[in-house]
Amino acid sequence: GQSLEQPSEVTAVEGAIVQINCTYQTSGFYGLSWYQQHDGGAPTFLSYNALDGLEETGRFSSFLSRSDSYGYLLLQELQMKDSASYFCAVRDPSRGRALTFGSGTRLQVQP
Amino acid sequence: NAGVTQTPKFQVLKTGQSMTLQCAQDMNHNSMYWYRQDPGMGLRLIYYSASEGTTDKGEVPNGYNVSRLNKREFSLRLESAAPSQTSVYFCASTSEGQGGSYEQYFGPGTRLTVT
């Protein structure tokens, strides 16, 4: 089966850097994805790591270590609009391209 | 492009009533999904369709049925609603991104309350 663990809540101040960790267990690994969801909204895709290392997209970066079954999302220069829930997800190889999601990390950015 | 659309946005049902949630995508994606999200939790897969004409059960299929009407449309039916089905329902479709990212595009969600 698939399972992912991430912290339930993180608080940081505007302008700071925050890291959201994710550990996973999966029967077959096809990469780690990250999604952002604002309250009342739909999840939106942020990033994807198939290989070890850091992927950078603007203020957001995502890291993967396949040997440790671990990844993180790094958010820099935090803005109030970054307050949202962040989900890590892995593909479920027994269900086509469906994803199994972690329970989410709620990020609260304070002024 | 509208992306993924869902109707209705909100619905209140009484226990035992039935309803169908509609979903359509205009991105020519083969794969479509139905997820439910309960408060403070991640999304759980109800059913998915890897291509037109095929449907398969996900993690939590009990109490639901689906129809892949054509490549664009994938509907979810609750035959006899129960309070445990109170949730937010998201439809999604998948692209095959570069390097196999399979980015999922989500609809705006249907907020369902069963009393």
DSSP-assigned states of every residue in B53-95: T--EE-S--TTEEEEE-SSSBEEEEESS--GGG-EEEEEEEE-
- pLDDT per residue rounded down to tens, chain A (111 residues): 789 999 999 999 999 999 999 999 998 888 999 999 999 999 999 999 999 999 998 999 999 999 999 999 999 999 999 999 999 999 988 888 899 999 999 999 999
What are B33-50's pLDDT values in tens digits?
999 999 878 899 999 999
The pair of structure tokens assigned to A76 is 């820099």
Give chain A positions within 8 Å (CB) of B96. 97
Average pLDDT over residues B28-36: 95
- pLDDT confidence of residue B109: 97
For residues A34 and A73, is the Cβ–Cβ distance under 8 A? yes
- pLDDT confidence of residue B100: 64
Task: Name the residue among A102, A75, A89 with its Cα closest to residue B40.
Answer: A102
**pLDDT at B111 exceeding the cut of 90:** yes
Task: Name the residue among A49, A45, A44, A41 with its Cα closest to residue A22.
Answer: A49
Q: Which of B35, B41, B55, B102 is the best mutation test for A, with the most CBs of A within 10 A? A: B102
Burial class (CB in 10 A: 0-12, 13-18, 19+), B86: middle
**pLDDT at B97 exceeding the cut of 80:** no
The closest CB to that of A31, out of B59, B101, B109, belongs to B101
- pLDDT confidence of residue B98: 59
Nearest C-alpha of chain B: how many angstroms from A14?
24
What are B65-83's pLDDT values in tens digits?
999 989 999 999 999 999 9
Would you call B26 an interface residue with chain A, using a CB distance cutoff of 8 Å? no
Contact B50 A31 (CB under 8 A): no
Average pLDDT over residues B86-95: 95
Task: Name the residue among A31, A12, A8 with its Cα closest to residue A75.
Answer: A12
- pLDDT confidence of residue B87: 98
Average pLDDT, chain B: 93
Query: Residue A13 and residue A16: Cα distance in Å, rounded?
Result: 6
